[in-house]
């Protein structure tokens, strides 16, 4: 499908009563608007940038949303998932628990206990799945807001 044209049969969109319009530079999919950042920074910097735009880091809650994001994510990008509050308990920025997972093989591993990686409490999306990474690493990010 061409950029901006997606399968709107996604059942999560049944609550959209009006046609979705996103701000310039944002991409529409299933009742939400997404911004794929051009800049890079820590997980916290990405979250602050999203919040300043009236959004937050993306919460992935359907297989179709995961597929959509992979079409636009080259390299890797921060998503709104972390286990900062309690090691091993992954939660989304909207406080929902992690139910649907796309972790890469052997992930999350919290750096495998290797001191060179430190604590890996934030999640990134990559072409082959999610990976936990130091929240201080510098990546692009994906913002999401309801349209």
The architecture that CATH gives domain 11-146 is Roll (3.10)
Tell me the torsion sign for CA atoms 100, 10, 35, 19.
negative
pLDDT band at 114 (very low <50, low <70, confident <90, very high): confident
- Ordered by start, the domain boundaries in the chain are 11-146
pLDDT digits 0-9 by tens, 26-54: 999 999 999 999 999 999 999 999 999 99
In the chain, the DSSP E strands lie at: 27-29, 32-36, 56-57, 76-82, 91-92, 122-126, 129-133, 140-146
- Beta-carbon neighbour count of residue 75 at 10 Å? 11
7 Ramachandran zone, left/alpha/beta (phi>0; psi -120 to 50):
beta
Contact, 65 vs 128, CB < 8 A? no
pTM of the model: 0.86
- Give the per-residue pLDDT at 73: 82
- Give the per-residue pLDDT at 11: 39
The structure tokens listed for 134 are 């130091």
Residue 1 pLDDT exceeds 70: no
């Amino acid at each position: 499908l061409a950029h901006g044209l997606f399968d709107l049969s996604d059942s999560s969109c049944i609550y959209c009563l009006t046609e979705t319009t996103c701000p310039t530079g944002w991409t529409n999919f299933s009742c939400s608007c997404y911004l794929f950042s051009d800049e890079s920074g820590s997980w916290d910097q990405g979250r602050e940038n999203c919040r300043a735009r009236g959004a937050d880091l993306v919460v992935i809650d359907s297989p179709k949303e995961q597929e959509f994001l992979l079409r636009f994510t080259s390299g890797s990008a921060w998503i709104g998932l972390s286990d900062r509050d309690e090691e091993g308990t992954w939660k989304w920025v909207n406080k929902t628990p992690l139910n649907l997972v796309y972790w890469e093989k052997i992930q999350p591993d919290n750096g495998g206990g290797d001191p060179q990686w430190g604590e890996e409490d934030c999640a990134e999306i990559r072409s082959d799945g999610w990976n936990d990474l130091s929240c201080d690493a510098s990546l692009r990010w994906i913002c999401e807001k309801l349209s």
